[in-house]
Structure 1
Amino acid sequence: MNTLKNKFAFALLVLFIFVTNAQVNIIPCPENIEIGQGSYILNNQTTIISGPSTQNEARYLASVLTKAFNKKPAVKPKGKKGIFLNINPGLEKELGKEGYLFKSEKKKILIEGATSTGLFYGIQTLRQLLPADFEFMKDPDKNVAVPVVKITDKPRFPWRAFMLDESRHFKGAEVVKKLLDQMALLKMNVFHWHLTDDQGWRIEIKKYPDLTKTGAYRKDTQSSWRNPERYGEPHGGFYTQEQIREIINYAGKRHIKIIPEIEMPGHATAAIASYPWLGILGTTNEVSVVFGKMEDSFNVANPKVYEFLTDVLTEVFELFPENIVHIGGDEVMFDAWKNSQSIQDKINKEGLASPADLQIFFTNQISNFMEAHGHRMMGWNEILGANVHEWHDDSEVQVKQQLAPSAIIHFWKGDTELIKKAVASGHDVVNSLHSMTYLDYNYKKLPLSRAYSFDPVPEGLDEKYNHKILGLGCQMWSEWIPEVSQMENQVFPRIAAYAEVGWTSKSNKNYDKFTQSLDQLKKRWKLSGIKYHEQSN
């Protein structure tokens, strides 16, 4: 008899788990889910209950419901039934500024957050609780069931980023907005916008109009790595400051911060082609049509170059509301520095040990300028001065300078011991180890399961430094990805894995559950026209 009871109990448990998983397929997986009985029926009569402090989120939710029912829902300050949106500062102690409480009952849904950001993320959870085709059905008579459920949720990391490189291949505002929409659904909060590089300058700078007149266009494009073949047509494009403000506003409504990347001192060919006096070689007069590491770079020994860069940053500060600017700082080729008299004179004058030491000296100048203007510098981990490239010899990377401790280190290459040294020196770190986060890598090299397995906190890090790991970024480099459909194939579905890496606690991560939930997202992506990768495991 006991055996029969045990089998019956086990069968009920399996049924409960099946029903729970069938009802709640949310990416990133929430912190805690309690399943109740019954459902809330959502239809074109559903009212949104919102006070003055939640009007922006109410408008956003109303736009979601309007897509489904082809009718704008009423938004009222009071009511007994409907979807209640509430800012509850008391939740911050338990759930932080980005956490939320979601509670659906048979007659109402309550979404609360300590801030409007948390409230917004609760709305994203509601979206994923609804059928995948909900926002595409345009059926005013449809009734849709939301399971009775209580969800308390908060992110593991405060920095959950997606990077788009538009300097190599320009994609345009509508593509960016579409990506921002998907980031919002996945509760990602940082859009890292790579706007300048050797092959294109994509941001209008009013004081230096040739940056876009010349630097935003190249005559041709290399078709594949180490291949002399070219596409045989020009490529170009840039964003006006007005367009950038529009995209910033669009992102802000989705609680996404935009961090621009303005490369210096390397990856500067497009800028030098626009104003040749910026460079070291004196021979760079056109935007690069090939990819890789270029020999020329900004002449950091020239005071006029420093003036140019601070002028550019001043306009960037005025455009972007966030107080962080990424300066790149990666892959500087030091051969030109070793052969430049002005660079060598600068090294000697400042009592520096090597080209890498000069780069740190320069980077600190930029950091000091940013701090004086209320901003903070971020850069790839070469700005620390460590040798992470096989083409540098030891003499090039002897350093005496100490990088400004306020600099955020964006780790991408080298031994993870560099992360431990960086946090011990006081730096915050965003971990984007290339072998785990580079979306231009094919699925054989970086399958979905590997992306999902990434942990931004390196193994062996002393727990007292865990708070110095801000989170992660996943990077869509675009050298060999000219078409939007190609880009989408590389980004989706791996971006969902990174969203869960950034949000979900390690104890709640489960790859099988993630792939089950991913089926719902794939249906949504298909309806959105997103060309995701089919066989990605």
Structure 2
Amino acid sequence: MKNNIIYLLAFLTVCCGTIFNSKAQIIPHPLELEYGSGEMVLESDLVIIASSEVQNEAEYLADFLEKGFGRKAAIRPIGEGLKLVLENNLIEKLGVEGYRLRVQGDGITIEAATPTGIFYGVQTFKQLLPVTFEQGSESQTITIPYVEITDKPRFQWRAFMLDESRHFMGGMEVKKLLDQMALLKMNTFHWHLTDDQGWRIEIKKYPMLTAKGAKRKDTQMEYRSEKRYGESHEGFYTQEEIKEIISYAQERHITIVPEIEMPGHAMAAIAGYPWLGALGTTETVPEIFGKMPDSFNISDPKVVGFLKDVLDEVISLFPGEAIHIGGDEVNYESWIKSDEIQAFMAKENLKSPVDLQIYFTNQISNYLENAGKRMMGWNEIMGDDIHEEREESQDAVEQKLASSSIVHFWKGDLSLIQKAVEGGYQVVNSNHWDTYLDYTYERLPLSKSYAFNPIPDDLEEKYHKNILGTGTQMWTEWTPNVEALEKQIFPRLIAYAEVGWTALENKNYERFLKALQEYKQRLKLTGISFYESL
């Protein structure tokens, strides 16, 4: 009998004080799952066996076990215990994020080709344990079933976006959300940090971006309403705070993709530095939501230089490959009415404001590429009239988007995805009808969230590889506090975890609903609010 794990026959698990999770409800559902005929009892002296290459994952697991057992598990390079094993030859079968988890008579083993795979195996192991484990079960015996799981994700891009421009939520809430993303095996946190209603990231070269751009005097309460809260709203992250959150995310194998909006959704920045704007009249941060009148004056080399300066500091902070520049809902009226911008367009032979935007976007794309990054933007960056605002005669766009760009599809006919992938672009599909968490549950019910397929039904198979994955977006115009925010996110975020990870043929909504009931208990115990009328 091992000194750290006691093996019992099945009939002994009914003894007093034993907590037994006979058929764990794992979300997202694994690729292959097979239960054995026995079960294992864990004791508080469980030892983790791990090499130096997976010390981060071993420490993470030890911290988790300490919450339940009241003592931190020892981590040793060799011996008997819960084994975290790197096997390079698994890369072909499981990729960089896949893992194999075995709970059998000879012990517990999590093996993968990379530390990321080991980490995701740990997340599944956590869900084998009772939902109450983290609240402290050291006085009870923990029993888990024999099981063998082989698992890997369907898509490489599994994202959640939080808009903190409209309402600033703060680092504590961001970390709570990152913890949930980790458990759900979501690997990309898309952080919307700038917009018309607030600039939330410290840029040392331009302090007025936060000194003035991070504050607004009041906030619109309802759509197309004059109602206001009657109080100011403000907040931003220092660069040190951002570094700390990036480190927290990295420990959970989550990449943060910052979004710095340009050339539209720019009025908070323009309020700090009015010379940035095309109108020349913007001096305050808007308190209403919607499509705003001012945009960056991108015909001015000084403004383009400002944006590159901002990106320099963003690049130095965020180690991930992608930088999101937004690019959506640009109001062209200020450009059309500007003699300076019209003269610039004539000089550069740019036939329309759309061409001007693509011309500018390619400047930024090239700048980021030279810095070892890739530009990402909402699908307006391709020049398509997704809002159906133009006359047919205005739709002949001559400029072509840089080929290295990642197209983030959110709106328009699905044929635009076909157009993008045929053009060689990689696409993240976040079709708003299917993924926008600010929508009501009547408009976007849980069943529709779960049913979403990032690959359109009629997309030719040869282009499937160009669909990187999906993201779900939490826009915060109408969620002024954490409770309101969380009720819009949960439980739909849990459904999107399966959209991104689980093989299409393995999805089953009835099974998911059963597993969701257990997950809701986890949310309650963690103090996370969720929409209950489901």
Same structural fold, with TM-score higher than 0.5 when normalized by the shorter chain: yes
What is aligned with 2:369? 371
Correspondence list, 1:394-409, <5 A: 394-409=392-407
Q: Which residue of 1 aligns with 2:58?
A: 58
- What secondary structure, in the 3-state scheme, does the structure 2 residue paired with 1:470 have? strand
Alpha-carbon distance in structure 2 between the residues aligned to 1:396 and 1:285: 32
In the alignment, which residue of structure 2 is the partner of 1:12? none
- Answering whether residue 317 of structure 2 is matched by residue 316 of structure 1, we say no
How far apart are 1:106 and its partner, in Å? 3.0
RMSD over aligned Cα, in angstroms? 1.2
* Separation of aligned partners in 2, 1:300 and 1:392: 21
Match of 1:383 among 365, 381, 384: 381
Partner of 1:123: 122
Provide the residue aligned with 1:272 in structure 2: 270
CA distance in 1, matches of 2:392, 2:356: 15
Choose from 287, 290, 293 the match for 2:288.
290
* Per-residue deviation, 1:323: 1.8
Which residue in the other structure is 2:9 paired with?
none
Partners of 1:141 and 1:23 in 2: CA distance: 22
What residue is the counterpart of 1:225 in the other structure? 223
Of 31-40 and 20-29, more deviation after overlay is shown by 20-29
Q: How does 1:192-203 map onto structure 2 within 5 Å?
A: 192-203=190-201
Partner of 1:150: 148
Corresponding residue of 1:507: 505
1:47-98 deviations in Å (ceiling 9; x for gaps): 1111111111000000000000111111111223x21001111111001000
Tell me the distance in 2 between the aligned counterparts of 1:323 and 1:199. Answer: 27
* 1:165-222 deviation digits (Å, cap 9, x = unpaired): 0000000000000000000000000000000000000000000000000000000001
Measure, in 1, the Cα distance between the counterparts of 2:486 and 2:393. Answer: 42
- Residue among 420, 441, 454 paired with 1:443: 441
CA apart distance, 1:398:
2.9
Contact 2:201 2:210 in 1 (8 A): yes
CA distance in 2 between partners of 1:342 and 1:75 (Å): 65
Q: Which residue of 1 aligns with 2:111?
A: 112
36-45 or 374-383: bigger deviation:
36-45
What CA deviation, in whole Å up to 9, does each residue of 1:456-503 have, x standing for no partner? 001211111101000000000000011100111010110011000000
Aligned to 1:341: 339
Shift of 1:343: 1.4
- Which range is displaced more, 126-135 or 253-262? 126-135
One-letter amino acid of the structure 2 residue matched with residue 117 of structure 1: T
Corresponding residue for residue 391 of structure 2? 393
Partner of 2:28: 28
Counterpart of 2:339, as a letter, is Q
Change in CA separation of 1:447 and 1:163 when aligned onto 2, cut-off 3 Å: same
The equivalent residue for 1:251 is: 249
> Is 1:328 paired with 2:332?
no
In 1, Cα distance between the equivalents of 2:280 and 2:350? 24
Mark the runs of 5 or more structure 1 residues left unpaired by the alignment.
Answer: 1-19
* 2:187 aligned residue (186, 189, 198): 189
Give the fraction of aligned pairs with identical amino acids, expressed as a percent.
58
2:411 is paired with a residue of what secondary structure? Answer: coil
Runs of 4+ in 1 over 4 A off after TM superposition: none
Shift in Å at residue 235 of structure 1?
A: 0.1
1:67 aligns with 2:60: no
User: Once the 2 structures are TM-superposed, how far is the Cα of residue 394 of structure 1 from its aligned partner?
Assistant: 3.7
Between 1:38-47 and 1:480-489, the stretch displaced more is: 38-47
8 A contact 1:177–1:250 mirrored in 2? yes
Q: Secondary structure of 1:23's match?
A: coil
Look up the equivalent residue of 1:121 and give its one-letter code. Answer: Y
SS in 2 for 1:472: strand
Task: Tell me the distance in 2 between the aligned counterparts of 1:147 and 1:186.
Answer: 21
Q: For the residues of structure 2 that align with 1:469 and 1:410, how far apart are their CA atoms?
A: 10
Q: Per-residue displacement from partner, 1:29-56 (whole Å, max 9, x unpaired)?
A: 0000111111121121111111111111
The CA deviation at 1:433 is 0.3
Deviation of the 1:147 alpha carbon = 0.7
How many residue pairs get matched? 515
Q: Structure 2 length normalisation: TM-score?
A: 0.95
Matched residues in 2 for 1:240 and 1:79: separation?
44
Could you say which residue in structure 2 is the equivalent of 1:140?
138
Aligned residue for 1:13?
none
1:489 pairs, out of 487, 501, 510, with 487
Maintained 8 Å contact 1:41/1:106 = no
> Please, which moves more after superposition, 174-183 or 139-148?
139-148
Alignment of 1:391-470 (within 5 A): 391-470=389-468
User: Quick one: structure 1 residues 183 and 373, their matched pair in 2 at CA, closer, same or farther if it must change by over 3 Å?
Assistant: same
Query: Structure 1: how far apart are the matches of 2:165 and 2:48?
Result: 42
Superposed displacement of residue 342, structure 1? 1.3
Cα pair 2:21 2:143 within 8 Å, conserved: no
Give 1:107 shift: 4.1
Please tell me the residue identity of whatever aligns with 2:259.
E
Cα drift, residue 21 of structure 1: 10
State the Cα deviation string for residues 130-160 of structure 1 (Å, max 9, x = none).
1111111x23232111110000000000000
Match of 1:78 in 2: 78
Q: Which residue identity lines up with residue 65 of structure 2 in the other structure?
A: L
Q: Please, what TM-score do these two structures have when normalized by structure 1?
A: 0.95
Return the offset for 1:344: 1.0
Give the Cα separation in 1 of the matches to 2:492 and 2:436: 10
Counterpart CA distance in 2 for 1:458 and 1:21 is 38
Alignment equivalent of 2:168, drawn from 167, 170, 185: 170
Distance 1:22 1:507 in 2: 25
CA shift, 1:22, in A, is: 5.6
Aligned AA for 1:87?
L
For 1:505, the aligned partner's letter is A
Match of 2:526 among 514, 525, 528: 528
Q: Which residue is equivalent to 1:11?
A: none
2:475 is matched with 477
Q: Which amino acid aligns with 2:33?
A: I
Corresponding residue to 1:300 among 278, 283, 298 = 298
**Match in the other structure for 1:15:** none
Please name the residue that 1:91 is paired with: 90
| Cα distance between partner residues in 2 of 1:303 and 1:143 | 68
Cα displacement (A) at 1:395: 4.6
Task: State the Cα distance separating 1:390 from its structure 2 match.
Answer: 3.4
The residue aligned with 1:38 is: 38
- Provide the residue aligned with 2:11 in structure 1: none
Query: How far apart are the structure 1 equivalents of 2:55 and 2:257?
Result: 26
* One-letter identity of the residue aligned with 2:325: I
Q: Tell me how far apart the structure 1 counterparts of residues 529 and 22 of structure 2 sit (CA, whole Å).
A: 25
Contact conserved, 2:21 with 2:145, CA < 8 A, in 1?
Answer: no
Aligned mates of 2:248, 2:394 — CA distance in 1: 44
Instruction: String of CA shifts for 1:307-352, please: whole Å, max 9, x gaps.
Output: 0000000000000001210000000011111111111112111111
CA distance in 2, matches of 1:205, 1:291: 24
CA distance in 2, matches of 1:328, 1:518: 33
Aligned letter for 1:84?
K
Matched with 2:102 is 103
Secondary structure in structure 1 of the residue aligned to 2:531? coil
Cα pair 1:334 1:396 within 8 Å, conserved: no
* Equivalent AA in structure 2 for residue 419 of structure 1: I
Contact 2:409 2:417 in 1 (8 A): yes
Q: Render the CA deviation track for 1:248-295: whole Å, top value 9, x for unaligned.
A: 000000000000000000000000000000000011000010000001
In the superposition, relative to structure 1, how do residues 201 and 396 fare at CA in structure 2: closer, same or farther (>3 Å)? farther
- Give, in whole Å, the separation in 1 of the partners of 2:68 and 2:392: 62
Match of 1:3 in 2: none
Distance 1:40 1:246 in 2: 38
